[in-house]
């Protein structure tokens, strides 16, 4: 048995060897690390350094006093958040919209990718891809404006068709019951085509010999898709789903804010718009920071749990 001194030297030598091996890998792949350096710098500057500002969630922050001079109030802002009568309404709205995204809009790019992969003509496939990619490059202002023009009671094409068919007109923009369908359809319209890029890339990596073997066994196109294509891209789907779960309370401020009005607030108000109202319009910087901090903690917990579940059932996960 090695003495404690020998064991310590052994551990030190192993640690030094690991460090040398790490530097060898960095030197060998220096161009790859150089390529990802701008991305790492972006996250460090705009994601990690601003975390210092989370301190004001525990303070009664005053801009003229600064972070170091503001009074410390502990968890008062969090207590206020959880006791706010609007909290559960906002929490429910956020979860419902997120569930709709996961159950409806998340599978759409997968289905589109599978359908595009089945097209025989590559020229036709590329044409369709280009058409469904275009909405992604439009801002939410443009998307919502187009929807407004189509759905408004004053000359909107949808209500004109309903009137021509002798149906009652529908006030899509002010009726709370239509907010969620309109929200999801707009997300699908804008993001579904762009989301197919990752899945098409994953499908392209599937070994063609698997399809040939399936054909020899008499499998039709649907069975090939179900038993070969989907299992081959399952890991990609799970990773993207885990990342999506991390955004459970991050639904995007701009889109919802453009659709929000006094008539649909009961179903449309979410944490992002609430933070804007409390933080910027009312000047409650500490309170809005506490809300944002709560959102981040919930997202982190859900990502860790989803990743743990994925690994437990044999998937790779994200770390």
In the chain, pLDDT over 90 holds for what percent of residues? 17
DSSP 8-state assignment for residue 240: H
User: 269-285: per-residue pLDDT in tens?
Assistant: 988 888 888 777 777 88
Contact of 252 with 97, CB cutoff 8 Å: no
pLDDT, residue 42, reads 92
Q: Where are the domains of the chain?
A: 1-74, 75-312
pLDDT surpasses 70 at 4: no
Q: What is the pLDDT of residue 61?
A: 87
Helical (H) or strand (E) element with 60: strand 59-60
pLDDT, average across residues 185-196: 91
Determine the topology of domain 75-312 in CATH. Answer: MetI-like fold (1.10.3720)
pLDDT in tens, 216-230: 888 888 888 888 888
41 burial class (0-12, 13-18, 19+ CB within 10 angstroms)?
exposed
Distance CA 59, CA 68 (A): 10
Which pLDDT tens digit goes with each residue over 21-70?
888 888 888 888 889 889 889 989 988 888 888 898 898 888 888 888 88
pTM of the model: 0.81
Q: Tell me what pLDDT residue 13 has.
A: 57
Does residue 5 register a pLDDT over 70?
no
Res 3: pLDDT? 53
Mean of the pLDDT values across residues 115-129?
86
Q: Are 292 and 309 in contact (CB under 8 A)?
A: no
Average pLDDT over all residues of the chain: 85
């Amino acid at each position: 048995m090695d003495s404690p001194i020998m064991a310590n030297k052994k551990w030190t030598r192993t640690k030094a060897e690991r460090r040398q091996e790490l530097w060898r890998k960095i030197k060998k792949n220096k161009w790859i690390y150089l390529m990802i350096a701008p991305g790492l710098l972006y996250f460090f500057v705009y994601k990690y350094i601003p975390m210092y500002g989370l301190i004001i969630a525990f303070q009664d922050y005053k801009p003229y006093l600064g972070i170091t001079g503001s009074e410390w109030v502990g968890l008062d802002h969090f207590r206020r958040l959880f006791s706010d009568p609007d909290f559960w309404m906002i929490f429910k709205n956020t979860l419902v919209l997120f569930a709709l995204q996961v159950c409806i809009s998340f599978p759409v790019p997968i289905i589109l990718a599978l359908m595009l992969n089945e097209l025989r003509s590559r020229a036709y496939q590329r044409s369709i891809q280009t058409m469904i990619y275009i909405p992604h490059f439009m801002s939410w202002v443009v998307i919502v404006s187009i929807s407004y023009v189509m759905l408004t009671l004053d000359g909107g094409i949808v209500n004109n068709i309903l009137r021509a068919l002798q149906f009652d007109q529908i006030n899509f923009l002010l009726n709370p019951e239509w907010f969620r369908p309109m929200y999801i359809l707009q997300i699908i319209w804008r993001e579904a085509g762009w989301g197919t890029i990752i899945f098409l890339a994953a499908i392209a990596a599937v070994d063609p010999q698997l399809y040939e073997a399936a054909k020899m066994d008499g499998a039709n196109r649907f069975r090939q898709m179900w038993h070969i294509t989907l299992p081959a891209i399952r890991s990609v789907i799970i990773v993207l789903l885990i990342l999506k779960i991390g955004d459970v309370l991050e639904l995007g401020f701009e889109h919802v804010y453009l659709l929000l009005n006094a008539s649909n607030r009961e179903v449309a108000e979410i944490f992002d718009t609430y933070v804007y109202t409390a933080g910027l319009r009312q000047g409650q910087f500490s309170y809005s920071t506490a809300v944002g901090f709560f959102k981040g903690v919930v997202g982190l917990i859900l990502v860790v749990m989803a990743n743990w579940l994925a690994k437990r059932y044999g998937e790779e996960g994200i770390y």
